[in-house]
Structure 1
């Protein structure tokens, strides 16, 4: 078992010599496990969780040790930083492209407050791709599987001059969807993506320059949600959908069939373009090394979404756009002095980010019918005038306007007596909401961030070392918002509106507040239209202190402390404003602002290599997060809640067993206890295990490459992940129909290698036992007592041909 070299501390070091909890996945294991993007990494690393909720483009959530950022709102930055070839990726969704050939993946657990300083309060993924070589070589792969899956990938590298080598990689991956819409017989959760990536490497003595340019694009339908609880409004949704010849909510629930119902006129389109370039310059200056990494990234996503998640045409998104442009620059100077006693590093980091978001939420063709049906059910029999109940829009026959119910009120009669013109407000239907809503809510956030850091290893003796790191972080965010909505029914009820007096009378009657929220939901409340501007800035010192002791050449003991930080920002959603109509103080950007999140982490562990065939690492950790940023659905919209404390503690075990050159076994176990400690804000969720975080996770990977003849060998690979019980609701308490019992996911691959690996053929199966689990659960907006989940992929299988030269 040779040393695995990592750069987790900004230097090339053997992984077993780094006093840090780190998991390293080598390229051969990545190929054997069939990992194509960051989601597949969780199968091999128990402390890592990667999920995709309502969007593959913007809804990817990466957590380490139970902590991440569960939000597809781009105003929230991830707690787990992702770095590809030293370049920071600003959001988790920006990483969900197909991997080119990799050199390794480093999973750094716990706050990385010094070297990977920006927004890594929970950890970091350090992904290193294969670089150009000065020997001609390449590879090509082609796979075909069920669901009409096609995957093509190829790369070639070659020297073109004495000091210059080039490399190009490209890939294409498509697959039919695994979820079906019963109303239009469409497939969702599809794959359709490609990438191309070019590199140039120049090496001359102490100078090394690596240039990378890449482009990736997706055009997919993702992600469908399935109701597990129809709720009290379910029968009304079914009845109204039936009027349009559609199924509203599929009942009885059979989520393992992965069937859902959405409106045929709506889709779940996601188109993403991601491109950029970077340049890394390494210059050797005697005992010192100077490194500069410059990068430009541009990422754009366009989405549609049926956001009532039913066959009822209530609300939808169309033309939802996100764009993020990042310019980053990092400079590091590293070297050794005092005869190797001090290994120092100093550096700086700069980020210039421009984020644009255009949100669009519209009322569908049955928006008025839904409100009138709910109001009718709530007021049926209230008056002889309305045996079927009252309505607001007159969209259903036989239901008079609700204002008629107040005409017998003495106060209303007195108002009308004073001003007879008010009578029309109590007898005239409100304007239809169909086609109105957010026409274009435009947000722009500009971020400037700088970091100045030093990271030093002091070798006190040959066996004892001390690591000290410190980073100064400063960020400034400027926001501008241009909110444009049309919601005539809501506007009519607000002060100064055409039905303002009726609106005041309606507001005075608490029983009608749910109906008022349907008319003036904060996410489509025209009261908030206008132009806004704000700015915020903050600074934070982060860093680490660690001690390491080599008990023997094969046993390293370490303990350390780290302070991490994630910047505050803005919730880019008008739903976070306070409405004056509901007793608030009106729209102001401070309503959308949230503060920074910090983490204090303590860990201790031991790394051992008792023999060349066996490796065992054990780590215990305790992490205290303050100001934990949480976006939570609270009845009618998503709002920001910052919890006072979130505590994450546990134990991690990792082992590699290689009894022979053709057998390798990777084992991992994590015991995780991550809970909210804030009874005032968390309520019933206080003390509950965090969302999507099982207490026990076990991962394993077995690979056997037996020689068959001198030029022929076999491949047997099986990997598995066991998760204990967990809930998937975006509040830790959980609902029974959205939880997961313990389950195990198994993948397998069988193959033959010809001519010492130059050619190969493999058969693969993902999710061998076709296990179903819920990816994420959520309360469905505007549907009382309704819950839905995003379903997991089924079993996939196929065959892959490959060649290397």
Structure 2
């Protein structure tokens, strides 16, 4: 925290100094007058508008196809958010970015258990499993970030973010069946420049950012950026007497650019980010009836131990978790990027190393009782990537060909232990051991590692058959190999190891029902061939229509958290591996610019069919198996997206983006049972869980082995989602300075969605709308001071709901942020 104080102290005078220096500069440069012409009119002073790509120059350059081109010329559904828009709206990580891009979904109960999806697809909803790939690739300056935990960090000195919607497997690889997030940071410059900003707000919010760039020699330039964010938590823990769900982020990035000639540039970059928040917890939301007997439901279990929750209103934001909470998270790495003009094209090499260090502590029972006294799975990752590609652009032909190599090693050391309340919580009163402490001190030590190797060759071409009509084929050949190891050893309170050795007694039976020893060494390897074909046609000036077909895949995986066991507690090895997803994607769209480029309207329709979809299956018990992967037979996501932005004058701009997404299981006949059908005596039956009259009813006390949820919606997906906003400004003279006073609004809406892999009436989250406002004064030279308020109407909503373990009917949740407000001072020179 001392470093953060120094950063804040340094950034404030830096900003004020730049403000002072801006006076004379602004006297020479004023805001251009609106002329309505095609060269100096409103389109040429546009600010970044979400979903269209419009920016200060009227067009925005993107690298979605691994080459520089304007967003409106790319036959692809793409949302582009400029760095200034990110800063002004407070969208400093992917979680907040989703409020600006309707088809992006972000869920995070902690950095490791984070999901980033597009159009409802990406990674299975639920506990993270290291043995699978993500379906939304995250790229920062051409470097792939394999761990989705990187999405929880603050954006650092970002120039722009491209959200590429739909499969990007040809150019971005097997990890992009749903899309990609392509982040570009500001690069070193040979002109000296700097910027700084400081924000303060309620909840003890303090954020400081600074960046400086300039030449060292005629051929060497450097850039250094730093960011720090801290904020008090939003949930009060009455047990530890502290606020939890806080923010405590620090980020550093340094870059050196060596440019001996116009034909050659070499960029060395390094970054380091850490989080040390008091996180991550939950609040009591409700209880629902399960198929357990009345004495084994949550209310009866809590009463038997004299326990009551601190509040039955989740938006009192009170928790009583009794285990230590920690979410220590460190991510960083280094890269070398070489660009060399060779022959008629450009050769690019990107070599990178990334690391991730995760140090968590959790409360897995979601209560203030010492049921699970310890739950932590610290892990460490090293990742190495090498990409080599050659780009050529001509009058009629463009192409890019390349090769990509990836190696990843993850090591995890887990500890789970039960406490003094576990025995009475998990054993029936009729059990002779009910009044003992047979489960107190029961401990499982989990050791696992993953070795993940991947290599690929790829290419994509573009042929202008006529000046208006272009075809674009692409292909990729990929090889994957995964080697895993998982071991769980179980010990009683005396430290004696509990083994599956054929002997049994009542104590051992009770203990093995909580933690079962297991050791597996799953392996997977496979070749895959993917391809796509896009045809586009410029129907008129400013009008582009396109259609795409893509056949791609997501690599098969291995279960790194253990697998189900048979009646003899032996691992079912057939469940150790998961089949690859086979993806077929169809899309058609139109991109338009009109009204002298003052307005942009883009429309796309899509359908993605996935065979052997990798679904997350959650287990209701505390520690036998927290969750594993299985293949759902078929999934489909289809819908329509529209993006619109308009700037009738320099004084006003607005945008509206919307999406309808119908993402469903087309066939999933052996899904896990929802909480309302769980907890009863086991049955070998599979029942339909679609409009089942027993949902939510204490019925026969018999639970089906699995559910047929064919036709049900995928978790986390709202059918309707929108983002919308505007900004108006007027010229003023303030403090003897010419500038603009402005007022901006950004809103978002999403309809209801499920927060459980199998839909449940207990875990459906109602739709909600959020409104954010800002107002301030800025000058052309880069000084900006404004006030802001997020969730202005203090909307109560949930980001996620969680099914408590043990089939007791407990539902816990993570409330979204309440209303927050503050002020920001920013300056650049």
TM-score range, shorter chain: 0.7 to 0.9
Task: Please say if 1:722 is aligned against 2:749.
Answer: yes
Task: Please say if 1:297 is aligned against 2:354.
Answer: yes
Q: What is the TM-score with the length of structure 2 in the denominator?
A: 0.84
SS at match of 1:256: helix
CA distance in 1, matches of 2:558, 2:492: 24
User: Equivalent of 1:34, from 87, 90, 95?
Assistant: 90
- Shift of the alpha carbon at 1:139? 0.9
SS at match of 2:796: coil
CA distance in 2, matches of 1:258, 1:317: 23
Matches for 1:439-588 after TM superposition, within 5 Å: 440-487=445-492, 496-497=502-503, 499=505, 519-521=511-513, 524-526=515-517, 528=518, 530=519, 532-574=520-562, 576-581=563-568, 586-587=570-571
User: Equivalent of 1:762, from 782, 786, 796?
Assistant: 786
User: Equivalent of 1:61, from 106, 110, 115?
Assistant: 115
Q: 1:651 to 1:161 in 2, by over 3 A?
A: same
Matches for 1:95-494 after TM superposition, within 5 Å: 95-203=151-259, 204-231=261-288, 233-239=297-303, 242=306, 247-250=307-310, 253-263=312-322, 266-336=323-393, 340-372=395-427, 375-376=428-429, 379=430, 390-392=431-433, 394-395=435-436, 432-438=438-444, 440-487=445-492
CA distance in 2, matches of 1:691, 1:803: 42
SS at match of 1:31: helix
Deviations 1:614-655 (A, max 9, x none): 000000001101111111224334232211111100000001
CA distance in 2, matches of 1:36, 1:146: 17
- Give yes or no for contact 1:120–1:564 (8 Å, CA) kept in 2: no
- Give yes or no for contact 1:626–1:645 (8 Å, CA) kept in 2: yes
Matches for 1:583-662 after TM superposition, within 5 Å: 586-587=570-571, 590-611=574-595, 612-636=597-621, 637=625, 638-662=627-651
- Give yes or no for contact 1:493–1:499 (8 Å, CA) kept in 2: no
- Shift of the alpha carbon at 1:569? 1.7
SS at match of 2:96: helix
CA distance in 2, matches of 1:740, 1:774: 7
| Misfit runs of 4+, over 6 Å | 488-493
Task: Please say if 1:5 is aligned against 2:61.
Answer: yes
Deviations 1:49-87 (A, max 9, x none): 11212x1x2122111111121242322321111101101
Deviations 1:97-133 (A, max 9, x none): 1111211111111111100113111111001011111
CA distance in 2, matches of 1:681, 1:579: 17
- Shift of the alpha carbon at 1:238? 2.8
Task: Please say if 1:681 is aligned against 2:722.
Answer: no
Compute the RMSD of aligned alpha carbons. Answer: 2.1
SS at match of 1:239: helix
CA distance in 1, matches of 2:156, 2:608: 34
CA distance in 2, matches of 1:785, 1:677: 28
SS at match of 1:746: strand
- Give yes or no for contact 1:117–1:564 (8 Å, CA) kept in 2: no
- Shift of the alpha carbon at 1:154? 0.6
If you compute each CA radius of gyration, which structure gives the higher value, 1 or 2? 1
- Give yes or no for contact 2:489–2:497 (8 Å, CA) kept in 1: no
Q: 1:301 to 1:112 in 2, by over 3 A?
A: same
Task: Please say if 1:741 is aligned against 2:766.
Answer: yes
CA distance in 1, matches of 2:298, 2:572: 36
Matches for 1:690-729 after TM superposition, within 5 Å: 690-709=714-733, 711-729=738-756
Deviations 1:141-161 (A, max 9, x none): 111111111111111011111
CA distance in 1, matches of 2:499, 2:83: 62
CA distance in 2, matches of 1:137, 1:351: 36
- Give yes or no for contact 1:113–1:542 (8 Å, CA) kept in 2: yes
SS at match of 1:235: helix
- Shift of the alpha carbon at 1:759? 2.5
Task: Please say if 1:85 is aligned against 2:73.
Answer: no
Deviations 1:581-615 (A, max 9, x none): 3xx6x126543321212211100010000131100
CA distance in 2, matches of 1:31, 1:249: 39
- Shift of the alpha carbon at 1:729? 2.4
Greater fraction of residues in helix: 1
SS at match of 2:748: strand
SS at match of 2:732: coil
- Give yes or no for contact 2:129–2:628 (8 Å, CA) kept in 1: no
- Shift of the alpha carbon at 1:185? 2.4
Q: Which ranges in structure 2 are unaligned for 5 or more consecutive residues?
A: 1-42, 44-57, 289-295, 672-687, 690-708
CA distance in 2, matches of 1:359, 1:268: 15
- Give yes or no for contact 1:729–1:735 (8 Å, CA) kept in 2: no
Q: 1:184 to 1:237 in 2, by over 3 A?
A: farther
CA distance in 1, matches of 2:81, 2:421: 51
Q: 1:679 to 1:274 in 2, by over 3 A?
A: closer
- Shift of the alpha carbon at 1:743? 1.5
Count of residue pairs the alignment pairs up: 719
Partner of 1:671: 660
Q: Which ranges in structure 1 are unaligned for 5 or more consecutive residues?
A: 380-389, 396-430, 504-515
